[in-house]
């Protein structure tokens, strides 16, 4: 990660540990009714004085948007270890008593959310609700509601939560494609637990890719053993950049235009210390609308994929790959069963437009494709041999099909991803050396439940999860899923290290 990306910080009020704590609800087939923006003249919304076009009155946008922004309070718990015990001295950390010792520590954090429908659907950030055991929503008129998480999308850092009730003041969606650099905007949220705070600024840039979600997604897919090419394009980062002040607690709040309409969800800040340092980033409303609609209707996001490995061109990159075109998206490779290859896109093509919209950056391409579902079409304009060609591409899902992916699959993947571990099937040679029939080896341990709750080290060979023997990575996933479905608070993971002859067991919390 370069020095620029090191300064990017997610605008969290405090850390929420990823431990599960929510369930998706069965709402498949339900549509949400969004408020669409009208097109009144902007002249009556803000007064300007003199030829310098200085801002005047933002009260209209503030009064219209503030009631639609809520304060989200999240409670979560995590296991904490106590100091070394007598068992450590007698048996060492690899002892069969190597379960986490300590208790459950309560943590609280807060963020913001935007009411998107009159019947209580609220859009926010994934990182605001991730790992929460309990959610409280406080409206601008200080009414309190319990909320449930309907679903999340780490690829965009968007989540949907639901409160019971009716006639909530839903915010109207503006078309984020129409947002202009230099346009005045307001950020509405609850920074530092200061409710209903409004700050003003301008749009500093569009289509900004800061790499923070892509890095997180790549780590997640590696944990899941997924090294396919399209995983590099899962994260959709085409942020609206603004200099309106955004601080911890603003996450999930609204970025609105001078008509009080939603143009984005505030998500991240550029900061060396976690506080506002000049720039903030919001997920465009076009992406928010698509993601929230999918979560409400299907329980998870239905995302279409082109199935390409891409390079964003500039003069230098064009020379390196031998392209005559110096702007656009160079197709470096194609997924074998991907949509682009099936439609006739070729390696070496340069994608210059999607549905008539120019694609000069990978982030703009990701945003345009990310608005569509599997089975939907995209008109892709490519430059090939100096000529422009329009290719109609029918998008596919991550597995190369045109069907929607069931939410049960997403839930199962999430349960495994939260463990923070990269596993591989045990080779026949290692099986013979250890004298076992099966097993999986821990190749890498990341931040996650394994690191939080156990002292497991890389190289550990897992032989059993609870009473179930493990012969493959799929067996391990199935055993963890079964334990969670049974409502088990924890499970024993037993195995051995290749350098040791004894069995070691670790206790893993599943709360």
User: pLDDT by residue (tens digit) across 346-387?
Assistant: 999 999 999 999 998 988 898 999 999 999 999 999 999 989
Say whether pLDDT at 130 is over 80. yes
User: pLDDT by residue (tens digit) across 383-415?
Assistant: 999 899 999 999 998 778 877 766 555 455 556
Beta bridge partner(s), residue 469: 464
Domains with residue ranges and CATH for the chain: 3-298 (2.40.10.120), 308-394 (2.30.42.10), 419-509 (2.30.42.10)
Integer Cα distance of 158 and 253 in angstroms? 11
Integer Cα distance of 182 and 257 in angstroms? 12
pLDDT of residue 235: 77
Tokens of 131: 């790992």
pLDDT of residue 400: 80
User: pLDDT by residue (tens digit) across 163-173?
Assistant: 999 999 999 99
Integer Cα distance of 313 and 430 in angstroms? 45
Q: What is the mean pLDDT of the chain?
A: 80
CB 446 within 8 Å of CB 470: no
Highest mean pLDDT (candidates 62-76, 81-95, 224-238): 62-76
Catalytic residues: 127, 157, 251
pLDDT tier at 56, thresholds 50, 70, 90: low
pLDDT tier at 266, thresholds 50, 70, 90: very high
pTM: 0.69
pLDDT tier at 148, thresholds 50, 70, 90: very high
Say whether pLDDT at 334 is over 60. yes
Helix (H) or strand (E) holding 332: strand 328-334
Integer Cα distance of 355 and 368 in angstroms? 8
Say whether pLDDT at 444 is over 50. yes
Say whether pLDDT at 44 is over 80. no
pLDDT tier at 475, thresholds 50, 70, 90: confident
Question: Please, how many CA atoms are within 13 Å of residue 29, restricted to the half-sphere of its CB?
Answer: 1
CB burial readout 313-343, b (16+ within 10 A) else e: beeeebeeeebebebbbbbeebbeebbbbbb
* Three-state secondary-structure class, residue 433: helix
DSSP 416: H
pLDDT of residue 29: 57
């Amino acid at each position: 990660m370069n020095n620029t990306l090191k300064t990017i910080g997610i605008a969290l009020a405090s850390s929420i540990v990823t431990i599960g704590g929510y369930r998706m609800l069965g709402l498949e087939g339900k549509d949400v009714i969004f408020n669409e923006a009208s097109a009144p003249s902007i002249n009556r919304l803000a007064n300007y004085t003199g030829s310098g076009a200085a801002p005047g009155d933002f009260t209209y946008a503030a009064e219209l948007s503030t009631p639609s922004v809520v304060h989200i309070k999240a409670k979560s718990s995590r296991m904490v270890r106590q100091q070394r015990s007598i068992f450590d001295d007698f048996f060492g950390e690899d002892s069969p008593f190597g379960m986490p010792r300590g208790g459950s520590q309560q943590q609280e954090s807060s963020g913001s959310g935007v009411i998107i429908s009159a019947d209580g659907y609220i859009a926010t950030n994934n990182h605001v609700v991730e790992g929460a055991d309990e959610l409280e929503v406080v409206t601008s008129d200080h009414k309190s509601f319990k909320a449930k998480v309907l679903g999340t999308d780490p690829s965009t850092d968007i989540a949907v939560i639901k409160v019971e009730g009716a006639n909530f003041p839903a915010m109207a969606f503006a078309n984020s494609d129409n947002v202009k650099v230099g346009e005045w905007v307001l950020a509405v949220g609850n920074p530092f637990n200061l409710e209903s705070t409004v700050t003003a600024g301008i749009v500093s840039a569009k289509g900004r890719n800061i790499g923070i979600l892509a890095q997180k997604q790549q780590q997640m897919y590696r944990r899941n053993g997924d090294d396919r090419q399209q995983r590099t394009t899962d994260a959709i980062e085409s942020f609206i950049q603004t200099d309106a002040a955004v601080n911890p607690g603003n996450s999930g709040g609204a970025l609105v235009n001078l008509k009080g309409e939603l143009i984005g969800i505030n998500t991240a800040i550029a900061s060396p210390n976690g506080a506002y340092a000049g720039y903030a980033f919001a997920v465009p409303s076009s992406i928010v609308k698509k993601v929230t609609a999918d979560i409400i209707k299907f329980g998870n996001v239905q995302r279409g994929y082109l199935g390409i490995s891409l390079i964003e061109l500039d003069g230098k990159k064009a020379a390196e790959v031998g392209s005559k075109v110096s702007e656009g998206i160079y197709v470096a490779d194609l997924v074998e069963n991907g949509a682009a290859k099936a439609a006739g896109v070729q390696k070496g093509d340069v994608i210059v437009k999607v549905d008539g919209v120019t694609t000069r950056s990978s982030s703009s391409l990701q945003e345009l494709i990310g608005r569509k579902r599997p089975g939907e079409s995209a008109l892709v304009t490519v430059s090939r041999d100096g000529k422009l060609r329009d290719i109609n591409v029918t998008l596919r899902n991550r597995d190369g099909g045109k069907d929607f992916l069931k939410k049960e699959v997403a839930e199962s993947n999430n349960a495994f991803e939260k463990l923070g571990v990269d596993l591989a099937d045990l080779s026949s040679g290692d099986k013979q050396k250890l004298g076992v029939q099966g097993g999986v080896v821990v190749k890498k341990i990341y931040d996650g439940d394994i690191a939080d709750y156990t002292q497991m080290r890389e190289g550990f060979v897992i032989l059993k999860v609870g009473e179930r023997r493990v012969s493959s990575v799929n067996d391990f996933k199935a055993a963890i899923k079964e334990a969670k479905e049974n409502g088990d608070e924890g499970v024993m993971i037993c195995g051995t290290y290749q350098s040791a002859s004894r069995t070691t067991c670790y206790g893993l919390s599943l709360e």
